[in-house]
Amino acid sequence: MAIALDPLLGLAQSLAADAAALLAERLDEPRSEVRTKSSPTDMVSEVDHASERLIVDGIRRARPDDGILSEEGASAEGSTGLRWVIDPLDGTTDFLYGHPGFAVSIAVEREGRTVVGVVHDPVHEEVFTAIRGGGAARNGASIAPSGATELASALVATGFAYEPERRRAQARALTEILPRVRDIRRMGAAAVDLCSVACGRVDAYFERGLNHWDLAAGALIAEEAGALVARLEPNPAAPDGIVAATPAVLEPLRALLAEAGA
């Protein structure tokens, strides 16, 4: 029997709303528990863990047999063919500085394919949602990417890796990219960047070295809104990546990224 997606979206939205409320509540508290992960710039706080606990407990209560993959370590195999992919706080650096732009990201995969996505930004009170085949919305209203047709006038978002050597290469590639687009944005949360492509707030976004939880929900939202989303193949110097854009900009941007070694 096919699993109905609406109740899954409902659960994802309600858990994302609870987690987003927790982030908003704890935004201004003094930080005693900040640690670093892959590099000195890759931070994680007690709030990342608290948000994950809240979401994962909610899934386990409502759907104990589903699989789980979450950034801060929660995982479960599952036996239903469904898996929840969670970034409990995307944009930890923004969050820890009190800088708006962080969000909660929750996706549901069915047999390995994302079918539901929710990205909730508590500061801007924006909830992006999508169901595969059902379009994408912001706070319930349908969204679409920008009508940009020229790469030269495209506003392009990106993100930087946590390792210093990768950053050096990314900065070098930008010296080729920046003169050939309208401008670059580095907002600090991959999930929100993909939603920004989805609603036309930027014309395109690219980044390498993301984890699955960074992009699972946002990529579905961008695609369902009508943007094109493609994979950047890994190369000897860099891990794989994602590029998302309003349709006319995707191919020219891909070509520029290849030329710039991005």
Bridging pattern class, strands 155-158 and 183-185:
parallel
Contacting range for Ca ion; rule: CB under 5 A; set: 73-81, 83-91, 112-120, 200-208: 83-91
Q: Considering beta carbons, is residue 71 or 223 the nearer one to Ca ion?
A: 71
Contacting range for ligand IPD; rule: CB under 6 A; set: 84-92, 108-116, 172-180, 196-204: 84-92
Q: Considering beta carbons, is residue 90 or 223 the nearer one to ligand IPD?
A: 90
Q: Identify the helix (H) or strand (E) that includes residue 219.
A: helix 212-225
Residue 5: name the closest of 120, 101, 97, 132 by CA: 132
Is 90 a binder of ligand IPD (CB under 6 A)?
yes
Nearest-CB residue to ligand IPD? 159
Size of the site for ligand IPD (CB under 6 A): 12
The residue within the footprint of Ca ion, chosen from 214, 217, 228, 249 (CB under 5 A), is 214
Count of helix runs (H) and strand runs (E) in the chain: 7, 15
Encoding tokens for residue 51? 């948000």
Using alpha carbons only, give the angle 4, 82, 112 rounded to the nearest 5 degrees. 110
The residue within the footprint of Ca ion, chosen from 90, 94, 193, 224 (CB under 5 A), is 90
β-bridge mates for residue 228, sequence order:
245
Is 121 a binder of ligand IPD (CB under 6 A)?
no
Contacting range for Ca ion; rule: CB under 5 A; set: 109-117, 129-137, 148-156, 208-216: 208-216
In the complex, least distance from residue 9 CB atom to Ca ion, rounded to whole angstroms? 21
Is 104 a binder of ligand IPD (CB under 6 A)?
no
In the complex, least distance from residue 51 CB atom to Ca ion, rounded to whole angstroms? 9
**How many whole angstroms separate alpha carbon 50 and alpha carbon 24?**
13
Residue 24: name the closest of 139, 128, 126, 123 by CA: 123
The CB density around residue 17, as the number of other CB atoms within 10 Å, is 15
Contacting range for ligand IPD; rule: CB under 6 A; set: 86-94, 108-116, 121-129, 229-237: 86-94
Contacting range for ligand IPD; rule: CB under 6 A; set: 11-19, 113-121, 188-196, 228-236: 188-196
Is 210 a binder of ligand IPD (CB under 6 A)?
yes
Is 74 a binder of ligand IPD (CB under 6 A)?
no
Distances (CA, A) of 152 to 53, 172, 181, 186, 199: 44, 19, 4, 18, 20
Residue 73: name the closest of 56, 98, 97 by CA: 56
For residue 11, with 0-12 CB atoms within 10 Å meaning exposed, 13-18 middle and 19 or more buried, which class applies?
A: buried
Contacts to Ca ion by CB under 5 A: 71, 87, 89-90, 214
- Residue ranges that bind ligand IPD, judged by CB under 6 A: 87, 90-92, 159-160, 188-190, 207, 210, 214
